[in-house]
Amino acid sequence: MTFVLGCIALLAGCATAPSNLSVLDDTSTLETLPMIALEGYRDGTNFFVKYSLGGRILYSGGNWRERVELVEDETMPSNYAVPSLVPMQYRQSTPWEAIPEDAVKIPIFGVEQWQLLRNRLLRAVVPADGTGLVVDFGHAEYFLYYDKGGEFNATRLQDKPSNYRVQSVLRFDEFMRRGRPILQQYLLEQGITDTEFVFNTGDSGWYSLPFLYINVERQLLVFVRNVPLEPVAIPPVAGLRGGQAFGHFLRSHLTNLLVRPVSSLYRLFFVVTDTAVTTVRFDWTAGLVDKPVPPLADAPPMDLQSWERELDKIASRPQTMGEVDVLVDGDAFFPRFIDNLTTAQESVRLQTYIFDDDDYAVGIGELLKRRSNEGVDVKVLLDGFGTISGTMAESESVPDFHRAPASVRMFLESDSQVKVRQKSNPWFTGDHVKTFIIDQQVAYVGGMNIGREYRYDWHDLMMELRGPVVDKIAREFDVSWWHAGPLGDLGYLVGQSRSFEERNREQGYPLRILLTGPGNYEIYNAQLKAIRRSQRYIYIQNAYFTDDRMLRELVMARRRGVDVRVVVPIETDHGPITRSNVLAVNVMLEHGIRVFIYPGFSHVKAAIYDDWACVGSANFDRFSLRLNRELNIASSEPAMVRQLQERLFEPDFQVSPELTELIPERWVDHLVEIIGDYLY
């Protein structure tokens, strides 16, 4: 028997609520008392639940067909239901007007019977050592644990108690696979022969799971999820995002000139200079057309000690120390990140290019607000255009029931102690850095923003850092925070001159922070020279290849006999970049570079050059390499390089088909590529 787990959510805004919802005004009742199902009915379209709550009898229901599928499971037979979220559309104190004649009455079992089954299931998978298990339901993550008294508890991950840590993460299908034999044995022992039935779970409070529906014939398990009927946030009105973008544009180019005159004009100088240089174009491939691509050379790798000495001249900051744990994809990063947020004791420093307004980002925002109200000093630094443009685009997997906040900044600041600053974008440049620092003990750096795409939809990478490198990253945040404040350029000087407590002792291995900003091309220069020095191999994964000079150096490296491999997505999140990438990919293929097409969208920005790794937020485009603010972590440490090879490149080479033929080009691609050099 193959059981599949799904969720039903009681959500706001899915239908017009009955006028007699005043019976639910006392929200404290819902927070303390369980909902106990008394009767249940269903037909092929609708379901009906009668339940008691604190002595009151309430009626609810909804439409089975208004479900949001949680996962795609190609192994399931077509006649089986997939895991889903189905909104319960109302709660009322008056009985239903009529139950359909063909409706089936569903047997209901008590809390004691459910607890017996639950304990058998959970004892097999949930640790009992003061830690807990995260189960990823696709649209929500729940933390399951046994408290010190041996009682089982389940809560949303962001509501996890601070004195419990996450031991492991399971996808719901793996969770149910482990529990399947236990469930079969339980039904046999209890003599349950009904094909469908409902358990009362006894859960109480918001976001609890009070009812469990099992349909043996359909091999379906459905939890009813109890959430507030009030909207999560006020939805934005039509045209609001466009108005926010226009207002931010004016502030970035008017107010910013008054508050940050030096940095604004300094940035303008480099934007104009770089634009002029970009305009001067020549066909560097012309002299290589008739030259055959040489075989791979059996040469020793570059001298890393000599290379690190050269990096001392390129980088504006000396080497530091630290330890790196490479976290590939959202299921590796976000549970770890949220676990640390829930246990933070002193401070959270979060800098991101995009803080989205989807359901997942709002959940993290709620956690940040709660922690700030519990005494943790929370500061959030946003890029203005990044966040506004990010909220304009919507992930395809956002549940239909979600209501986005009208303003991310206002949402974070309302009813909380969260401090938010939004960076301006003079001359359309931005701050593309993503750094999350907790208690100045652990930092996360990489390509992920705060949003559903990064948790569920896209392939991406973050690094968990510990040791003295965290102090250096925290200082970078501190300076940026002051610069984004009301003092502007004066605040930047204050931030640079302030004494900064360094808490972490020397530990780990050598790491290097590389930065990009107007007039500071550390990430660009370091990688250009690394390509030139490489003798054995170059592995790169990046979604954006619009820099001609970087492309030329990769071609020349391959013609030296270096094994150059590039992983790119066939489609990007920017249409023009996709077509520009086509031209870049074809040039690579023509000159012997191996190109692998990632199956899906990869947002990873990582590279290894002869055992020297460079990973972070920077793309291979003009803005990331020369104009935007970016931060990468680089190291020759074998432990870090090995992690990148084993967790990122080797698996991706396996799953990504290698391109063997040129991609058809269109005449407009060349025009798009020219324009893209200026816009990206």
Q: What is the domain partition of the chain in residue ranges?
A: 4-125+164-226, 240-280+330-458+468-506, 513-679
Mean pLDDT for the stretch of residues 120-141: 82
pTM above 0.85, yes or no: no
Instruction: Say if CB 402 and CB 356 are below 8 A apart.
Output: no
pLDDT digits (tens, 9 = 90+) for 48-91: 999 998 889 999 887 777 665 555 544 444 444 445 556 667 88
CB atoms within 10 A of CB 93: 14
- Give the per-residue pLDDT at 465: 97
Q: Which residues contact 635 (CB under 8 A, 6 or more apart)?
A: 324, 509, 510, 511, 512, 612, 613, 641
Mean model confidence pLDDT for the chain:
82
Binned at pLDDT 50, 70 and 90, residue 676 comes out as low
Q: Domain 240-280+330-458+468-506 sits in which CATH superfamily?
A: Endonuclease Chain A (3.30.870.10)
- Give the per-residue pLDDT at 668: 59
Residue of 96, 85, 10 whose CA lies nearest to 58: 96
Pairing of the two strands 594-598 and 563-569:
parallel
The sign one gets for the Cα dihedral 464, 468, 473, 474 is positive
Instruction: Say if CB 539 and CB 556 are below 8 A apart.
Output: no
In angstroms, how far is CA 640 from the centroid of its own chain?
22
Mean pLDDT for the stretch of residues 488-497: 86
Pairing of the two strands 46-53 and 36-42:
antiparallel
CA angle 73, 169, 571 (to 5 degrees): 50
The identity of residue 23, as a single letter, is V
Is pLDDT at 635 greater than 80 in this prediction?
yes
Residue of 494, 489, 623, 616 whose CA lies nearest to 547: 623
Mean pLDDT for the stretch of residues 489-496: 86
- Give the per-residue pLDDT at 664: 73
Mean pLDDT for the stretch of residues 177-196: 85
Instruction: Say if CB 93 and CB 20 are below 8 A apart.
Output: yes
- Give the per-residue pLDDT at 10: 26
Instruction: Say if CB 211 and CB 199 are below 8 A apart.
Output: yes
- Give the per-residue pLDDT at 25: 42
On the question of a common fold for 240-280+330-458+468-506 and 513-679, the answer reads yes
Residue of 346, 352, 320 whose CA lies nearest to 333: 352
Give whichever of 4-8, 255-259, 388-392, 633-637 has the largest mean pLDDT. 633-637
Q: Which of 199-208, 300-309, 513-522, 549-558 has the lowest mean pLDDT?
A: 199-208
Question: Regarding the domain delimited by 513-679, which CATH topology (the fold level of the hierarchy) does it fall under?
Answer: Endonuclease; Chain A (3.30.870)
pLDDT digits (tens, 9 = 90+) for 210-220: 888 888 777 77
In angstroms, how far is CA 525 from the centroid of its own chain?
29
DSSP string, 423-441: E--GGG--B---EEEETTT
Q: What is the DSSP letter of 627?
A: I
CB atoms within 10 A of CB 283: 8
Is pLDDT at 26 greater than 50 in this prediction?
no
Mean pLDDT for the stretch of residues 365-377: 96
DSSP string, 13-47: TSSPPPTTGGGG--HHHHHHSB-EEEEEEE-SSEE
Residue of 234, 432, 449, 447 whose CA lies nearest to 361: 449
Binned at pLDDT 50, 70 and 90, residue 338 comes out as very high
The identity of residue 421, as a single letter, is R
Mean pLDDT for the stretch of residues 668-680: 54
**Residues 435, 648, 640, 297, Cα dihedral to 10°:** -130
- Give the per-residue pLDDT at 104: 92
d(CA 348, CA 365) in angstroms, rounded, equals 12
- Give the per-residue pLDDT at 177: 76
Binned at pLDDT 50, 70 and 90, residue 624 comes out as confident
**What 3-state class would DSSP assign to 231?**
coil
For 468-537, what is the HEC assignment? HHHHHHHHHHHHHHHHCCCCCHHHHHHHHHCCCCCCCCCCCEEEEEEEEECCEEHHHHHHHHHHHHCCCE
Binned at pLDDT 50, 70 and 90, residue 251 comes out as confident
Is pLDDT at 351 greater than 70 in this prediction?
yes
Strand partners, 465: 324, 443
Whole-angstrom CA distances from 299 to 35, 527, 535, 563, 593 are 71, 20, 6, 11, 17
In angstroms, how far is CA 557 from the centroid of its own chain?
34
Give whichever of 75-79, 429-433, 497-501 has the largest mean pLDDT. 429-433
